[in-house]
């Protein structure tokens, strides 16, 4: 299909826009540079000739837009512009990486190759998926620009997502939230991270997005008047002290407002920190930037009283993504808390443009000390040295390294160590060295002996205590959050499990031979239920580890346990009609054969409605917005709440299994669904009686469990209820709020 004259005009306009951005950013300094970029544009235009995107526009517009984002919004250079223009050529046309190397340079070919491999991250086959992702990370650890261009590519795709069908939108937004948003954060691309989050919300939850956007617009005039009053005295004192500065107000993103509303169960009107004041100033050669930031902070706090526990000093110790600033929350006019951010122009450039600006300033400075980004890239390389075999595990472990909040702790010698918020002694130990983590038995935190599972706080001084005979335990996995620690523990447990399996199998074989019995599937089917093991590897492992003793083996072999076996397998396989017939235990089908619940679950219009089950991770009830995920093994459609974190992960990793049709709740039959509510308040005699009377008598709702405890005059706990839908649950919650003493009640969201 040929391009129309209108198409050609659009292409020429976009190409001119890219050239203008390159001039502004001084990307092309010589005529040869311009020819280099133009050659990439002409090749991409020819390669994608006649091809259109789903939106209908010429395909070449997409790589031009990606190149514009790379220059204007990130600040990348000439090679990145060329790679952005060519990023889909090898994947979608007949050109090869070798062609790119010959026409341009081996470096450009390497970048394009990395971008082409990145396109295969979400392959259906998990083995392929893991291999592709490792290749991408190898490229990342070699040249971070590849990932940055891919983030620019994802940003333009998100900006044009409206042309995609609903199931594709769910898959792409899930991938974006699951991986690209944390990556953008880690690389310091704050503005892009925020836009990606807002775009994800716009397409996943359009009604909530529009409602918050409308309310932000409705309060604009009142907010601007308040900001003007707040800023006026600050301007006066900064002018008096002859600072060169710009002061502005940034409204909180729609996504972050929505997240806060969900997390705290509050309406929009109760989100008080809708905006932050930002002071960006031109730093003088002397005194230091740090000193000048504190001088401005002092000017602000001379006017407005600061909140002591809300001071954030990311100048002395920057965030691990390179972010530097002073944040303080002060009491403004009319009793309103306002956040004030103080940055130099350099700090602001890094905060907005991230990695590219970070390296520009780093290379311009005298010191070449290793910083947070350097350390993170080193961790990526370390992760590649011992990759997990399971692709999903590999993705999840890597994602843990994209944490958002940091703490800083100190070694016994006073060396700072950056860790994610929520890190434990074990995370710290493994960050120092794998051997220290493997043999940790405790720690001295601020000179007090504490367990290895203790969570650390910023400012803690930590000395790890080790013992040669200590080894990682399975429960350690619940106490770590860094990918390095988790991977090391998993590797040890895997090796230990393999050793136990081999030893246990040989031990069982030897003991059976003492009774003249050969190890077989028939024998294993007797022993597995008797020892409460679900498969033979679990049986072997427990025998090898000494958890299972074979002292009663003779008795088990002699007794007729067929009824016990059948009962056990029925527990494992709901709906199983009879005992497996094969002598080989490996041939037993372990898949769930759950009953059909069509008329009590989300309804579909076809007469041959598929089988649905409720997701246990988020426990949706009628009225919740839901999405269907077809289990690839059983074909059963698992119904998740649209906000469910598990759904986001599944959609990101296996988006082809998202059900295309919209799933709606059936109104045909009244059925009860389990919901859990969390509540707290001031304790008084009779409060529990009032609660139970309201639930069981006034609303005729059955309670599954109540767990309420009281201390120091305050009660708190949870109640599990069987409700018909979200409407009846919300009505109940509204009435509970009116019970004397109840301060807070909300549905517990398993997401």
**Helix, strand counts (H, E) of the chain:** 30, 19
H/E element, 317: none
DSSP secondary structure of 701-751: -EEEEEEEEEETTEEEEEEEEEES-HHHHHHHHHHHHTSTTEEEEEEPP--
Own/partner pairs for 700-706, CB < 8 Å, 24+ apart?
A: 701/728, 701/732, 702/672, 704/674
Pairing mode, strands 626-630 and 637-641? antiparallel
In angstroms, the CA 470 to CA 653 distance is 36
Q: What's the CA angle centered on 501, arms 496 and 507, to 5 degrees? A: 120
CA separation (Å) from 467 to 38, 269, 437, 479? 63, 55, 10, 19
276, burial (CB in 10 Å: exposed 0-12, middle 13-18, buried 19+): middle
Count of residues for the chain?
A: 751
Other Cβ atoms less than 10 A from the Cβ of 151: the count is 26
Annotated catalytic residue: which of 17, 33, 57, 91? 91
Start-to-end CA span in the chain (Å): 47
In angstroms, the CA 186 to CA 180 distance is 10
396 is catalytic: no
Phi, psi for 255 (deg, rounded to 5): -65, -45
In angstroms, the CA 271 to CA 437 distance is 42
Instruction: Assess whether the previous peptide bond of 220 is cis (omega < 30° from 0).
Output: no
Q: What's the CA angle centered on 657, arms 652 and 662, to 5 degrees? A: 100
Q: Which two tokens stand for residue 586?
A: 């490996």
211 is catalytic: no
Annotated catalytic residue: which of 57, 92, 345, 537? 92
Question: Annotated catalytic sites, by residue?
Answer: 91-92
């Amino acid at each position: 299909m040929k391009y129309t004259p209108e198409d050609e005009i659009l292409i020429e306009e976009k190409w001119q826009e890219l050239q203008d951005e390159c001039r502004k950013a001084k990307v092309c300094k010589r005529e040869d540079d311009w020819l280099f970029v133009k050659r990439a544009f002409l090749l991409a235009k020819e390669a994608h000739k006649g091809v259109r995107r789903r939106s209908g526009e010429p395909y070449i517009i997409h790589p031009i837009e990606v190149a514009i984002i790379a220059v204007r919004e990130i600040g990348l250079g000439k090679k990145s512009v060329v790679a952005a223009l060519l990023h889909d050529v090898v994947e979608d046309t007949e050109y090869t990486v070798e062609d790119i190397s010959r026409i341009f340079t081996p470096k450009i070919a390497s970048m394009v190759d990395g971008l082409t491999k990145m396109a295969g991250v979400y392959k259906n086959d998990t083995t392929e998926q893991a291999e592709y992702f490792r290749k991408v990370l190898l490229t990342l650890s070699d040249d971070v620009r590849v990932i940055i261009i891919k983030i620019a590519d994802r940003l333009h795709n998100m900006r044009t997502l409206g042309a995609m069908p609903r199931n594709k939108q769910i898959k792409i937004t899930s991938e974006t939230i699951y991986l690209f948003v944390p990556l953008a954060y880690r690389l310091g691309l704050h503005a892009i991270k925020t836009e990606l989050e807002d775009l994800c919300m716009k397409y996943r939850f359009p009604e909530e997005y529009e409602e918050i956007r409308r309310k932000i617009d409705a309060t604009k005039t009142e907010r601007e008047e308040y900001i003007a009053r707040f800023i006026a005295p600050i301007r006066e004192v900064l002018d008096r002290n002859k600072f060169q500065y710009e002061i502005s107000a940034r409204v909180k993103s729609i996504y972050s407002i929505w997240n806060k509303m969900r997390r705290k169960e509050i309406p929009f009107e109760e989100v008080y920190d809708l905006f932050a004041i930002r002071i960006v100033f031109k730093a003088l050669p002397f005194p230091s930037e740090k000193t000048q930031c504190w001088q401005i902070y002092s000017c602000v706090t001379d006017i407005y009283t600061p909140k002591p526990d809300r001071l954030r000093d990311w100048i002395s110790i920057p965030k691990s993504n390179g972010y530097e600033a002073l944040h303080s929350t002060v009491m403004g006019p009319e009793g309103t808390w306002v956040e004030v951010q103080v940055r130099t122009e350099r700090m602001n450039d890094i905060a907005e443009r991230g990695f590219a600006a970070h390296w520009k300033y780093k290379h311009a400075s005298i010191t070449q000390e290793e910083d947070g980004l350097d350390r993170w890239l080193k961790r990526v390389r370390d992760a590649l040295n011992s990759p997990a075999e399971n692709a999903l595990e590999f993705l999840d472990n890597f994602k843990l390294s994209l944490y958002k909040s940091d703490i800083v702790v100190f070694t016994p010698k006073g060396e700072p160590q950056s860790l994610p918020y929520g890190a434990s002694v074990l995370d710290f130990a493994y960050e120092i060295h794998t051997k220290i983590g493997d043999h940790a038995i405790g720690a001295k935190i601020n000179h007090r002996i504490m367990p290895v599972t203790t969570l650390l706080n910023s400012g803690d001084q930590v000395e790890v205590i080790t013992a040669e005979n200590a080894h990682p335990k399975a429960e350690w996995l619940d106490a770590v959050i860094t990918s390095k620690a988790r991977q090391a523990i998993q590797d040890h447990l895997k090796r230990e499990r393999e050793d136990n399996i081999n030893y246990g199998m040989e031990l069982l074989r030897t003991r059976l031979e003492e009774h003249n019995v050969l190890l077989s599937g028939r024998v294993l089917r007797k022993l597995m239920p008797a020892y409460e093991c679900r498969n033979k590897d679990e049986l072997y492992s427990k025998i090898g580890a000494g958890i299972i003793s074979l002292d009663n083996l003779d008795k088990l072999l002699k007794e007729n346990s067929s009824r016990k076996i059948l009962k056990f397998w029925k527990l494992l396989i709901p709906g199983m009609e009879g005992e497996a017939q094969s002598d080989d235990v490996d041939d037993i089908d372990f898949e769930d054969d759950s009953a059909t619940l069509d008329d009590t679950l989300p309804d579909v219009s076809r007469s041959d409605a598929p089988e649905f089950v409720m997701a246990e991770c988020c426990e949706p009830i009628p009225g919740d917005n839901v999405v269907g995920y077809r289990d690839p093994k059983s074909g059963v459609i698992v119904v998740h709440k649209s906000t469910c974190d598990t759904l986001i992960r599944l959609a990101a990793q296996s988006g082809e299994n998202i059900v295309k049709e919209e799933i709606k709740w059936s109104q045909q039959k009244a059925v009860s669904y389990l919901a859990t509510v969390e509540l707290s308040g001031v304790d008084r005699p009779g409060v529990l009686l009032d609660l139970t009377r309201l639930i069981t008598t006034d609303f005729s709702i059955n309670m599954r469990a109540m767990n309420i405890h009281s201390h120091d005059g305050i009660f708190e706990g949870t109640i599990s209820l069987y409700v018909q839908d979200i409407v009846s649950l919300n009505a109940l919650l509204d009435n509970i709020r009116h019970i004397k003493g109840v301060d807070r009640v909300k549905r517990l969201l398993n997401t």
